[in-house]
Chains A and B, each alone.
Chain A
Amino acid sequence: MLKIWSMKKEQQKAENEGAAAGKKKKVTAAQLRVQKDLSELSLGLTMRTEFPDPDDILSFILYITPDEGMYNGGRFSFSFNIPPSFPHEPPKVLCREKIYHPNIDLEGKVCLNILREDWKPVLNLNAVIVGLQFLFLEPNASDPLNKEAAEDLRANREGFKRNVKIAMSGGAVRGEVYERVLI
């Protein structure tokens, strides 16, 4: 049974020890979890990470260069910002280029269920990057962020493929100029 509240404590001693123990930075649960997730990432040949400041593992950039599908030949980058409340809350992910994709809007917001409504603390960063990679293999037209791109994909898959090529090389689709992302 604890007796923390009992009165006759060697308060002096405790305070001294407390002072000695203070100041030193503790490893927070969020950072430790990110460390674990990072060391378990399986990036394969199509993905690469970049840490502007290696001491700050909560923000980094992920590059995806799809080697198949209609986005083959492009290179896309996503900024990852992991909140201190991770893994209770999901990482914040934004596409850094303006691209033509039904599930990514012109501001770079990504519609991926596990980045928002379906995020669970048991999911890890690997699940997120796998999800992002999948978006380039199977763009999903049914509930889009970029409505025009989704309409194109639904209406005419071949036309959509052509548009992707145009957009990736920095051309305009439906009057919207996209960023060149070809390698």
Chain B
Amino acid sequence: MTEVIATQTPPLLHKPSDKERKYDRQLRLWAASGQAALESANILLVSSGAGVVGVETLKNLVLPGIGRFAIYDDEKVNAADLGVNFFVDESYLGKPRARALTELLLELNPEVQGDWYPNGEVKSLEPLISNDEAPAFTVIMYTYPIKPEYLSLLESYSQKHKTPLVAIHCAGFYSYFQINLPGPFPIVDTHPDETATTDLRVLAPWPELITFAEELTKDIDNQSDHEHGHLPYVVILLHYLEKWKTHHDGKVPSTYKEKTEFRSIIQAATRTTNAEGGEENFDEAVAAVLKTLVAPSLPSGLKEVFDYEHTDPDEQKSDFWIIADAVKKFYEEHKCLPLPGKVPDMKAQSEVYIKLQTIYKTKARKDAAEILETVRATPGGDKVDPAEVDLFCKNAAFVKLINATGGGKISSKADRLKEVYVYHSPHTAQEVANDEMAEMTLQPLSLFPIYLALQPTSHRVDLNSPPIKAEKILEEVAKLVSDADKNEKVIDAAGEVARAEGGELHNVSALVGGMVAQELIKIITKQYIPIDNTCVYDGINSRTQVLRL
């Protein structure tokens, strides 16, 4: 055991900065790197209609400290706003709603900048988004109903600047939001479940690990109970695997039957004559057999990355794709991914565990160095940050590509509706029932009817115009999906949409504002996994569904 270093100078009193203290609860989720990304984000909200869901979303982004935001809203604050929107008050009646929302949002976090439009200088949406001098928007969101001309302005901005565009529609108990990403969106830092990340490579050990295990187990049957009871379970597995191989032509257990047989061997090797009447480390080894004795394979998320065909040559030159190509080369050469290097906690003596940890870490560093070398040899690879390579290697098995089939171009609203129409037109119904789009069909639990029923009110900007009737909604829906107007679920949904008359329910907007904010945080920080690409919410049954539309 390591001796105590007697004369250590105690570390200086650590004082977390004011910002670290304020943001402590979120830094534990996305760390300083995620926070830095948020703080440099600039978000545009184009708000109309009842105007609640947009400001509720911004509230959840201003609090964690986005850099800046801008709100464009043509409306003036009226009495109805006071009953549904928390970020207006009596003193703003008759004044620009964008101003009320902006000023009251800014009170939430003095570190955030915010602007409102139209104002004295910028009088409409067009000059606001065509000003090339102004800082670019990181994300743009707009809420339905929206004027068609605004929508096309935003869509062309999004295409030109490759800006993610988020559309949100809330009416009464129903809502959906849709995220349009400008091309494939890879995420490395996906934060997989801790338990899923264990990768111990007991079926493909390297020389250092083999030697270590052999040394610890060379006289396993004569070890004291204390030593035997503290062998790390990885070492136990490696030892009995070697024994197994000598009786099985050098092959490891591969079928379920063989694995359970192997498990029984370890179970039988557990000592029960000691004071505890059993051994925790052997229990751990037994429990780990089935999930650890797995031959390396290529996870589907990463396979999608490896197989991805670029349509945009610029995109290919990004750091992510340079590293991905290097990892692919590594995989093809070694038939396995770079070692993540993390060792889960297991029963063991402190110093033995630390040695084991070091063996894994050293191998992981070696693999990462090999990949970095490939990266450096790639044109444009000299500027890649080694920390990014490390992160990729640690998370390789969980890397995810969102919007892989998005193909770089955002289709217009009209095109998208046509696509939906095609999916649901009678002559394709057969295909639809069988393919991955089946969830979009009008099955009992599908929320697609809600999405459909909301479409006809997408551009009814004037909330004072005569309310739209359910019959009219169904008529419009039928134009998108033939016969859908006869479906009971669609008829119900149309009735609910008509009941709301374009109004928002505060709770529903707050809930959807929370979901959209989570999604924007994921997109801005490039951490966790965003939806692909539409989420429908049903506030009557408290359910959501994610659809690819």
A residues near B (Cβ < 8 Å) are 138-142, 154
Contact = CB atoms under 8 A, between A and B. Distances in A.
Contacts of B274: 142
Nearest to A137: B275
A154 B226 CA distance: 8
B276 A141 contact: no
B275 A138 contact: yes
B229 interface: yes
Given A141-B275, A142-B225, A142-B275, 7 more contacts: A138-B275, A139-B275, A140-B275, A140-B276, A141-B226, A142-B230, A142-B276
Contacts of A142: 225-226, 229-230, 274-276
Nearest to A138: B275
- Contact-size category for B: under 10
Contacts, number: 15
15 contacts: A138-B275, A139-B275, A140-B275, A140-B276, A141-B226, A141-B275, A142-B225, A142-B226, A142-B229, A142-B230, A142-B274, A142-B275, A142-B276, A154-B224, A154-B226
Contacts of A139: 275
A161 B226 CA distance: 19
Contacts of A141: 226, 275
Interface centre among B229, B274, B275, B276 (most CB of A within 10 A): B275
A139 B274 CA distance: 11
Nearest to B279: A142
Nearest to B229: A142
A174 to B, nearest CB: 18
A140 B275 CA distance: 6
Nearest to A150: B226
A142 B274 CA distance: 9
Contacts of A154: 224, 226
Contacts of B229: 142
Nearest to B276: A140
Interface string B200-237: 00000000000000000000000011100110000000
Contacts of A138: 275
A70 to B, nearest CB: 13
Interface in B268-289: 274-276
Nearest to A134: B275
B343 to A, nearest CB: 20
Nearest to A135: B275
Contacts of B275: 138-142
Question: Which of A141, A142, A154 lies at the interface centre, i.e. has the most chain B CB atoms within 10 A of its CB?
Answer: A142
Contacts of B225: 142
Nearest to A103: B275
B435 to A, nearest CB: 42
A146 B542 CA distance: 55
Across chains A and B, which 4 residue pairs bring their CB atoms closest together, nearest first? Answer: A140-B275, A138-B275, A142-B229, A142-B226
A142 B225 CA distance: 8
A117 B518 CA distance: 35
A139 B276 CA distance: 9
Nearest to A140: B275
A141 B230 CA distance: 12
A140 B229 CA distance: 12
A74 B287 CA distance: 41
Contacts of A140: 275-276
A44 to B, nearest CB: 21
Interface string B29-42: 00000000000000
Nearest to B277: A138
Nearest to B230: A142
Contacts of B230: 142
A136 to B, nearest CB: 12
Contacts of B226: 141-142, 154
A15 B238 CA distance: 71
A138 B275 CA distance: 6
Nearest to A139: B275
A138 B230 CA distance: 19
B345 to A, nearest CB: 12
A154 B227 CA distance: 11
A141 B276 CA distance: 10
Nearest to B225: A142
Interface in B189-205: none
A138 B274 CA distance: 10
A22 B229 CA distance: 57
A111 B123 CA distance: 73
Interface string B255-275: 000000000000000000011
